[in-house]
């Protein structure tokens, strides 16, 4: 338990402060541009993380929104209810997960359509000979061909968006008093550690994507989609009265004063 508490303290210290929320979008842009420059001018030798079938890519990155959704659901519910005591506030705030799911679905659909309409079927990855009889990625793949189009980086989008959403929601920990005597202490401490570890994993895998995969323009568009999804919600829409709203804080709500003392 002591080790878990130390991890939670470290993650709260490095991810919860407001300065982190201000700087993290720029950090994603810097990692994307810096990693892309390395890929173009100082390519690194193959490694475990350059293999698309590494365990982190297969079981975490490819379902990044799923992990984010599953861990944020109880975290938002517990923290928001403990601070406000209102089920209606909790249900309203949980709508951020529906909004995030919609952003994920629409964005990935756009990426697939862009790749389809800008692509063609080739006999091999060398793109030497085109096969004009196939007009979709599915047909091309079934025929043993290679579909090449403008493939916007879904990983860059997902990891950017998921990382920013988690950090925004973890801001509520500035108001939550972590006291061992409360029956939810272990659950919230565990969720804090799990979410914080996800953020660091998303940052690392985002850098690996920048260093090993995709062209610069594809990563730029993917990252910008992630930033746009975050900015359009947490910096614009969620400030409006008719929205899921931002995480509760003392200046906007009359918070309970006995948090984690019962």
**pLDDT for res 130:** 81
Mean pLDDT along residues 86-95: 94
**pLDDT for res 10:** 94
pLDDT tens-place string over residues 109-132: 999 999 999 988 888 787 777 887
Q: Is residue 244 part of a domain?
A: no
Cβ(165)–Cβ(228) below 8 Å: no
Tokens 């030497």 belong to: 128
**pLDDT for res 140:** 83
Which one, of 219, 211, 217, 215, lies nearest residue 45 by Cα?
Answer: 211
The catalytic residue positions are: 155, 214
**pLDDT for res 22:** 95
What confidence category does residue 262 fall into, taking pLDDT thresholds of 50, 70 and 90? very low
CA distance 176 to 82: 8
pLDDT tens-place string over residues 151-183: 999 999 999 999 999 999 999 998 887 677 677
Question: What's this model's pTM, rounded to 2 decimal places?
Answer: 0.91
Q: Is residue 250 part of a domain?
A: no
Q: Is residue 73 part of a domain?
A: yes
pLDDT tens-place string over residues 207-260: 999 999 999 999 999 999 999 999 999 999 999 999 999 998 765 555 444 443
Number of domains in the chain: 1
Whether residue 38 is predicted with pLDDT greater than 50 in this model: the reply is yes
Q: Is residue 124 part of a domain?
A: no
Q: What percent of the chain has pLDDT over 70?
A: 94
Lowest mean pLDDT, pick from 46-55, 64-73, 96-105, 135-144:
135-144
Q: Is residue 253 part of a domain?
A: no
Q: Is residue 98 part of a domain?
A: yes
- The average confidence (pLDDT) of the chain is 90
**pLDDT for res 155:** 96
**pLDDT for res 250:** 61
Whether residue 35 is predicted with pLDDT greater than 50 in this model: the reply is yes
**pLDDT for res 251:** 54
Q: Is residue 141 part of a domain?
A: no
**pLDDT for res 150:** 93
Q: For residue 61, what are the domain limits?
A: 2-41+51-118+151-239
Mean pLDDT along residues 183-204: 93
**pLDDT for res 126:** 76
Which of the pair, 261 or 170, is modelled with greater confidence?
A: 170
Q: Is residue 114 part of a domain?
A: yes
**pLDDT for res 253:** 52
Mean pLDDT along residues 19-28: 96
């Amino acid at each position: 338990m002591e080790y878990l508490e130390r991890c939670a303290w470290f993650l709260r210290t490095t991810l919860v402060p407001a300065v982190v929320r201000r700087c993290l979008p720029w950090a994603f842009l810097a990692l994307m541009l810096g990693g892309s420059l390395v890929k173009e001018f100082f390519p690194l030798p193959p490694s475990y993380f350059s293999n698309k079938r590494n365990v982190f890519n297969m079981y975490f990155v490819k379902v990044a929104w799923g992990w984010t959704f599953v861990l944020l659901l109880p975290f938002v519910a517990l923290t928001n209810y403990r601070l406000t005591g209102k089920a209606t506030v909790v249900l309203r705030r949980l709508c951020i997960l529906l909004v995030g799911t919609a952003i994920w679905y629409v964005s990935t659909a756009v990426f697939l359509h862009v790749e389809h309409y800008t692509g063609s079927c080739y006999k091999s990855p060398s793109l030497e000979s085109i096969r004009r009889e196939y007009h979709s990625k599915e047909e091309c793949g079934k025929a043993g061909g290679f579909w090449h189009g403008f493939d916007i980086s879904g990983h860059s989008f997902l990891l950017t968006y998921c990382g920013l959403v988690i950090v925004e929601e973890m801001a509520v920990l500035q108001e939550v008093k972590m006291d061992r005597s409360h029956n939810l202490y272990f659950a919230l401490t565990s969720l804090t550690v799990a979410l914080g570890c996800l953020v660091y994993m998303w940052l690392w895998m985002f850098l690996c994507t920048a260093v090993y995969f995709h062209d610069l323009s594809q990563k730029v568009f993917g990252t910008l989609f992630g930033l746009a999804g975050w900015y359009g919600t947490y910096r614009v829409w969620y400030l409006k009265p008719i929205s899921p709203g931002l995480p509760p804080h003392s200046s906007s709500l009359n918070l309970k004063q006995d948090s984690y003392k019962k």
